[in-house]
Amino acid sequence: MIKKDFSILIGGRAGEGSRKAGLIIAKLFAELGYKIFIYDDYQSLIRGGHSFSHLRASDKKVLSHRKKLDFLLGLNEEVIKKHQKKLDKKGIIIHDSMAKKAVEEVKGKPMMENTAIIAIFAKNIGIEWKILEKVLKQEFKKFQKLNLKVAQKAFDKAEILFKIKRLNKKVFPLITGNEALALGAVKAGLKLYLAYPMTPATGILHYLAKNKDKFKVVVSQLENEVGIVNAAVGAAYAGTRTMVGTSGGGFALMTEGFSLAAQSENPLVIVESQRMSPGSGVPTYQAQGDLSFVLSAGHGDIVSFVIAPGDAEESCFWGGKILNLAWKYQTPSILLIDKEISESTFSFDKDILKKINCERPLLWDKKGRYLRYQDTKNGISPMAFPGDKNVISKSNSYEHDEFGLTIEDEENTEKMQNKRLRKFKEMEKEVDRLESVKVYGNKKSKKAIICWGSTKGPAKEAAERLGFKMVQPIILQPFPEKKVKQALKGVKKIALVETNALGQMEKLLNSYGIRIDKKVLKYDARPFLPEEIEKKLSKF
């Protein structure tokens, strides 16, 4: 049987280029028609320490790395020592000693050892020089000739150990979850992105800033998270589609602005990319510990969307959809992702962009007197913006009447609260119309795994191997109760899988009468592997 699923790890100290090397290796496999997933593991250091990229190349779509390694590439001895125990019985180690020699022989720079080790690996698995050369030329614009010289020397010194099969499949581009999310938002009409840098959401800021002219998006880094959220509310008030990016600690500072957007009914989209916490926690590592926080964020009765995609393509689609939903219902909304999605690299099907459009919100028909908070049947008021002809557009953080003037009497206070609650009822209907829940695995099984966010990938693989059903709620508020219960129809036992210590999804499910029989939790700041879930549920 020809092997079509490969697991490769390349590592070194921070600053040695192991992440870049991992991406280049992934692109070599992509050129041969393989689907890719890369998990990047790095410490909160600029130099030194231990960093690695763990990539997987398969003939099928993959959303997780796996435990056993087929190839271990070390840019130093420490990498080999740390990861050798993960090597499969037939696995191969590629050490940095041959790479160093190739660099020295052509008088290259020490940093180019990663280029040399890539070339050795490419030769070992039978990749042709012309494919390696093509990818290296795309990836190295600086010192390109010298990098190619190093690669040629290393390639010539190495030997072919075996030849991996070229697949007759479409070559997909490779992008991170953050980049996919940004593309979806741009397709849905994003015009302003605001952020204060905070791992793991920072990649959105960098990607949009790098492509701001191409995407026609204004990108700004303000002084802190409080300034960011208030600027976003103001921009929405002026009619600009805006998105904000942060992590848990940054969102904690934004919650007052979040409540302001709820009361003033200004569309606000916040990307909250989770990392291991509380406090600063383990800032460059994985967790799903903010679910309870975002569901209850802000003070008062708040009408909002919380959406948790599970991979890059879902992040792209929902990155656009949440922008449209926020403007349609004039409400604050949270796109809840995590480090595993934000910073991992995926094979990306660009056709998902065809499903995203910039949807027009409800605008004032310019007849009669304009009421910013008009008390409509569905609770959604027509929008107009400062500068529009014959418009006085109020935005008020206090309770207000239909015009926008502050009120304190009982009757009007209840009236305006009821208006917003009617809007929430419409949002619930919207959730029922959308693909808010996905089902995978054996759909007839009496046993089911429930997961959300990035645990989708490893849980899906485990479910398929165990013969279980897997249920993935994507919209978490308003909660798609009917769809989740329909997906669980006939199921006798339910296991919950998530990367936090308290089983936060269980609390949400319990509030809708859905009981969990077994919790599979991980909270060591690392993502689940399919094998771990399979082992925990093998006797379930």
* pLDDT value of position 142: 86
* Identical fold, 176-355 and 437-537: yes
CA Rg value for the chain: 25
Sequence-distant (≥ 6) Cβ neighbours of residue 374 within 8 angstroms:
381, 382, 402
Q: Which segments of 3-85 does DSSP mark as H helices, in order?
A: 18-31, 77-83
What is the per-residue pLDDT for 418? 97
The Cα 206–Cα 195 span in angstroms is: 10
Report the alpha-carbon distance of residue 61 to residue 311 in Å, rounded: 11
Return phi, psi of residue 50, to 5°: -140, 120
- Predicted local confidence at residue 1, as pLDDT: 60
Q: What is the CATH number of domain 5-157?
A: 3.40.920.10
Domain 437-537 belongs in CATH node 3.10.20.600: no
CB distance 309 to 317 below 8 Å: yes
The strand pairing partners of 231, in sequence order, are none
Beta bridge partners of 87: 69
Positions of the chain with pLDDT lower than 70, given as ranges: 1
For the domain 176-355, what is the CATH superfamily, name and number? Thiamin diphosphate (ThDP)-binding fold, Pyr/PP domains (3.40.50.970)
Q: Are 519 and 431 in contact, with CB atoms under 8 Å apart?
A: no
User: Using one digit for the tens of pLDDT, what is the confidence trace for 84-138?
Assistant: 999 999 999 998 788 888 899 999 888 899 999 999 999 999 999 999 999 999 9
Alpha-carbon gap, residue 66 to 59, rounded angstroms? 15
Query: From CA 356, how far away is CA 303, in angstroms rounded?
Result: 24
Prior bond of 278 cis (ω within 30°): yes
| pLDDT for the residue 98 | 83
Structural domain boundaries in the chain: 5-157, 176-355, 437-537
Q: What is the DSSP letter of 236?
A: H
